[in-house]
Amino acid sequence: MENNTDNYIGYEYINVKVLNKMESLYRDNYPCFGWIFEKVSAPLQGVPIVEIRYKRNRKIRSRMELTRLQHQFDFYVKEILRLEKSKTSLATSISLTMGITGTALINLSWLAYFNNMIWQCIVLAVPGFAGIVMAYYCFKKIRAGKTEAVNILIEKKYDDIYKICEKAHALL
């Protein structure tokens, strides 16, 4: 048996946990950093995260620079996810405040009703119901405006990701 060490390749391995919706982004772009796709774990029921396994030659050229670019890629993906969450965060907080305030006004109107203050009951109930009903429409309006503004920033982040991947691919 001949001992041939010239063909030996030492690999380093990485497991990347990502959201299901970002799996294709990682599977398409991590090879730009020298990683070779091995497998993806099946997501557990109700868990939106998958684990992707990669391997890479330990003696790859420009390993430090590729690792630095990979960290930038990961940072931009986290920024995209943060921006996605920001689409609804302001709308949610405002509509929740409106709904809670409306509920409080309705509760106060019940107290007024039980104390035989009919006019105060009506004065408190009308804005209470309006606050509860308007919370939904307010949510939709704010979310639509915020989504329009944030989508532009998300597209810029995707452009930055693709530029990083082009640089990394050129190093291979």
pLDDT at 4: 57
pLDDT category of residue 158 using cuts at 50, 70 and 90? very high
Return the SS3 of 35: coil
Predicted TM-score (pTM) of this structure? 0.77
pLDDT category of residue 3 using cuts at 50, 70 and 90? low
Burial class (CB in 10 A: 0-12, 13-18, 19+), 46: exposed
pLDDT at 61: 85
Return the SS3 of 162: helix
Of 59, 67, 79, 77, which Cα lies nearest the Cα of 32?
67
Percent of the chain with pLDDT over 70: 97
44-74: pLDDT as tens digits: 788 889 999 999 988 888 889 999 999 999 9
Return the SS3 of 56: strand
Q: In the chain, what are the domain boundaries?
A: 1-60, 62-172
Relative to beta strand 36-40, strand 49-57 is antiparallel
112-142: pLDDT as tens digits: 988 988 899 999 999 999 999 999 999 999 9
Q: What CA dihedral angle connects 149, 154, 160 and 163, to 10 degrees?
A: -120
Name the token pair of 128: 């209470």
Cβ neighbours, 10 Å, residue 168: 24
Query: 166, 74 in Cβ contact below 8 A?
Result: no
| Residue 1: pLDDT over 70 | no
